[in-house]
Amino acid sequence: MKYKFLITILFALLVGILLFLAPLEKSLGSTMRYVYLHVSLIWTGSLAIVTGGLLGLSGSLLNRNEITKRSQSLGWIALGLYSAGILVSGLAAWYSWGRIQWSEPIYAVSGRIMLVVIMIQVLAILLPQYRWSGLLYLIPVAYLIKATANIRMVMHPVDPIGNSGSIQIKLTFYVLTLLFAIWAGLMIWLSGRKP
């Protein structure tokens, strides 16, 4: 537990330094820091949801309950990262547009994604563990893919990272996402170690 806390503090400091040094976008100014954080948290949360599903599938196919348990740990981390990304999105919207655009379809979709992850996490706790219980973790993956495939954007830009002309801005997003992914991996690895 002590190592998780120390690693989290270290990574928070690294993220803070990176955000401080990150290039700002002309029209957004310092609000760009919220956008960096929002997008990297959503990307990492989504990646964790998909990785958790693949771990659950692997655990079921290989009949290895310890792999399936890692899916559950990763599911909670995915939920935390994704939820944090949505909260930071609200800050980015507030500072960019002067309000949170609740009618934006992406908020409704994101809320449903979080709800599906929560339901599967709780269901996995309540159901007895058996060989194929890891397949439950594929449900959030399928929903994430289906729900995000054709989201209609109102004010939210479509693929702001991919459409950015700045390599420095893209690189900052990628490095932040990598940092969050490394942090999540370390948390999973440490949760599987014997105290």
Domain ranges of the chain: 30-191
Greater confidence (32 vs 8) lies with: 8
Confidence at 154, pLDDT banded by 50, 70, 90: low
* Element counts in the chain: helices (H) and strands (E): 6, 0
Q: What is the pLDDT of residues 85-143, one digit of tens each?
A: 999 998 888 887 788 877 788 888 999 999 999 999 999 888 877 778 889 999 999 99
What is residue 94's predicted lDDT score, i.e. its pLDDT?
A: 86
Mean pLDDT of 20-45: 87
Locate the DSSP E strands across the chain.
none
What is residue 153's predicted lDDT score, i.e. its pLDDT?
A: 65
- Confirm if 184 and 176 have CB atoms less than 8 A apart: no
What is residue 131's predicted lDDT score, i.e. its pLDDT?
A: 76
- Residue 25's SS3 state is strand
Mean model confidence pLDDT for the chain: 88
Report which of 42, 47, 37 is spatially closest to residue 12, judged by C-alpha positions.
37
* Residue reference for tokens 């909260």: 87
HSE-CB at 6 with a 13 A cutoff on CA atoms is 4
What is residue 191's predicted lDDT score, i.e. its pLDDT?
A: 82
